[in-house]
Amino acid sequence: MRRSKVLAFAAATTITLSFCTSSHAADPVDDMIVTDFVIEEPVYDWSGTYLGGHVGYTHLRGQDRFDSSSGYDGAVGGIFSGYNFVYDNFFVGPELEASYWGYSGHSSSGLDLDSDYMLAAKLRAGITYDFLLGYANIGVATSRITAENRRFGSNSDSAQMTGWMIGAGVEAFITERLAVRLDYQHIDFGSKTFQIGSTSFSEDVTNDMVRLGVSYHFETF
């Protein structure tokens, strides 16, 4: 009797093990979860329309016919917008900017120069490399310059001055759409005659700027 029970238990165990083995053989990955992770590289597109703003340092300089020069330090802030045409790793495109600036200080000669704004139109060209862009630019800029000289009287004289602009800069994407830039610009406004009281004098006016900016590049379709 006991032997019969042992044989029956052994037979049942053998059948159970055979069923489990065949079940796992038919589906070896039944309890396994396979997950594929796909890491997409960001795509940096420098082409198309962009809009941004900048802040920085600016220096206005006046020089008279006697080579006596006066310099004035100030701050500048403004907005810019443009469009890039990209061909392989080269690009070219127009850019417009409007800036507000102001100057402080007095020169030893008594002449003080000041200005409130600057407008510019320029053409940029350069190269791109992945998330980096380097460029040079040339264009025109205009500003209303005000001159004062306490030695010639208490009043002042203002003139709209337009000249050429040249500069260079670098940009880098920090996201797929947002880029930061650092640029330097030199403006030569040429020469202008101012009159304060009964005295007329001519000044050659130039400007130098270093600015930090951020821009948003819109998606191209």
Q: Domain coordinates of the chain in residue numbers?
A: 48-217
The first and second tokens of residue 1, run together, are 């009797």
pLDDT of residue 200: 86
- 206 bridge partner residues: 61, 188
3-class DSSP state of 18: helix
Supply the pTM of this predicted model: 0.78
* Cα–Cα distance for residue pair 184/164, rounded to 1 Å: 14
DSSP states along 112-168:
EEEESEEEEEEEEEEEEETTEEEEEEEEEEEEEEEEEETTT-S-EEEEEEEEEEEEE
What percent of the chain lies above the pLDDT cut of 70? 80
Residue 1 pLDDT exceeds 60: no
pLDDT at site 66: 63
Per-residue confidence at 70, pLDDT binned at 50, 70, 90? confident
Architecture of domain 48-217: Beta Barrel (2.40)
Q: Whole-number mean pLDDT of the chain?
A: 85
